[in-house]
Amino acid sequence: MASLFHCQRVYAGIVISSTTIILCLSSVLLCSCPQRQFHSNKLRLGYLQSDLHHLPAFIALEKNYFNDEGLVVEMTGAFKAGPELMSAFPAHELDVAYVGLSPALTAVANGTAAVKCIAQVNQEGSAIVVKDKAAYNKVADLQGRVVTIPGHATMQDFLLRKALKHADIPFNKIKLLVLKPPEMIPALNQGDIDAFIVWEPYPAKAITSGSGKVVMTSHDIWPNHPCCVMIAADDYLREHPDSIKKLQKVHKRACDFIANNREESIDIGVKYTGMDRNTVVTALSAIVYDGELRKEDVMEFVNFLKELQYIKNEMSQNDLIQNFIP
């Protein structure tokens, strides 16, 4: 993979062979390195494709809340997965993003992205789904079956492990696969998998299409658990604290709009996710939009990431959380 930085060191020196000491007369660093270009009122915002958890971003766009605060937002395109989105930060392609807590926290802990959490986006909003006509109807029935998650170290990975533990099913007694969310319903229909756990609106789509049924929601597994967050690049946060405050104000306004304008929120969800109205209605009933991220909830998730060595550094849980949540 090509380096993001293209630098050349030029040395001129004299070698004294008798003592093997090198005297460097000069060391010149010639670099042509990409730098993040900031504009006081402009920011580049990322989100995940068809992710109804990110409805506040769609609301803010549709209702011109960003414009109301004098913010010029450039939507950089929908990313297909959290790790892909996180890789855009060290490449200086994003300033702010809506993304899952897990990929953001893991990237910060492992030093692959320098970002801070500036708000929670939502709680809950995932579910374990099996085939609609399946004879099995509870988590305990998943023993020996093929179950898919959207990725390792995801919130859904954690939720599945938590649900299986509660049902006294060892994790190694299921056959785990990783699939992208859009591939899960077709795989279920074809009989390639027996169950999946993923975020909305995919569980709702499985229900409304007649493909699947929910055996357990994430509310049942871990009530009020954090899911998606809004993050900002550390350097953008330092350079533009006023813009971040405006962005937080916009986010809260969008969350309040969802709470008080359900029908219009559904319409906007349909427009930006491409899902049918019935699916969006069903999905929204499982999602709680709450901007306050509680550190104690993050602590439980950090413990999980460390236990499975998804986080590989030696930073303490408290230090990691303090570094992630300003």
Read off the pLDDT of each residue in 135-143 and give the average, rounded to a whole number.
Answer: 95
Question: What integer best gives the mean pLDDT of the chain?
Answer: 87
* Mean pLDDT, range 131-157, rounded to an integer: 94
Q: Cα angle vertex 258, ends 105, 214, to 5°?
A: 65
The tokens 């909305």 sit on which residue? 200
Q: What pLDDT, on a 0 to 100 scale, did the predictor assign at position 38? A: 53
**205-209 average pLDDT score:** 97
**How far is CA 192 from its chain centroid?**
26
The residues, ordered by sequence, that sit 6+ positions from 10 with a Cβ below 8 Å of its Cβ are 27, 28, 30
Q: How confident is the model at residue 82 (pLDDT cuts 50, 70, 90)?
A: confident
Whether the predicted pLDDT of 36 surpasses 60: no
pLDDT of residue 39: 52
Which CATH superfamily includes the segment(s) 42-122+227-324? Periplasmic binding protein-like II (3.40.190.10)
Between CA 293 and CA 228 the distance in angstroms is 10
Widest CA span in the chain: 84
Multiple choice CATH, 126-221, 3.40.190.10, 3.90.1720.10, 3.10.50.30, 3.30.300.20: 3.40.190.10
Q: What is the mean pLDDT of residues 106-124?
A: 95
Report DSSP letters for 260-271, one per residue. H-HHHHHHHHHH
CA–CA separation, 181 and 202 (whole Å): 7
* Alpha-carbon torsion, ordered 321, 36, 98, 120, to 10 deg: 40
CB atoms within 10 A of CB 176: 14
Measured between alpha carbons, how far is 180 from 150 in angstroms, rounded to an integer? 5
pLDDT at 14: 30
Q: Is the pLDDT of residue 69 over 90?
A: yes
How far is Cα 219 from Cα 306, in angstroms, rounded to an integer?
Answer: 23
N- to C-terminal Cα distance for the chain?
33
Q: Give every CB contact of residue 71 below 8 A, 6+ residues apart in sequence.
A: 41, 42, 43, 243, 246, 247, 250
pLDDT digits (tens, 9 = 90+) for 215-268: 999 999 999 999 999 999 999 999 999 999 999 999 999 999 999 999 999 999
Q: Which of 23-27, 155-159, 196-200, 246-250 bottoms out in mean pLDDT, i.e. has the lowest?
A: 23-27
> For the residues of 83-137, what is the DSSP string, one character each?
HHHHTTTTTT--SEEEEEHHHHHHHHHTTS--EEEEEE--EE-EEEEEETT-S--
Give me the mean pLDDT over the 188-212 stretch.
97
Residue 212 contacts residue 35 (beta carbons within 8 Å)? no
Residue 14 or residue 307, greater confidence: 307
Quote the pLDDT of residue 35: 53
**Which run of H or of E encompasses 288?**
strand 287-288
List the structure tokens of 272.
């930006």
- Mean pLDDT, range 84-90, rounded to an integer: 94
Q: Which of 170-174, 175-179, 245-249, 311-315 has the lowest mean pLDDT?
A: 311-315
> pLDDT band at residue 161, thresholds of 50, 70 and 90?
very high
Residue 24 pLDDT: 35
More confident residue, 308 or 262: 262
Q: H helices within the chain, ranges in order?
A: 55-62, 65-68, 82-86, 101-109, 155-166, 181-189, 202-208, 218-221, 234-239, 241-260, 262-273, 277-284, 295-307, 317-324
> β-strand 42-48 against 287-288: which pairing, if any?
unpaired
pLDDT of 9 > 90? The answer is no
pTM for the model: 0.82
d(CA 51, CA 227): 12
Q: What is the pLDDT of residue 308?
A: 86
Give the Cα separation of 97 and 45 in Å (integer): 5
Residue type present at position 153: A
Residues of the chain within CATH 3.40.190.10 domain(s) are: 42-122+227-324, 126-221
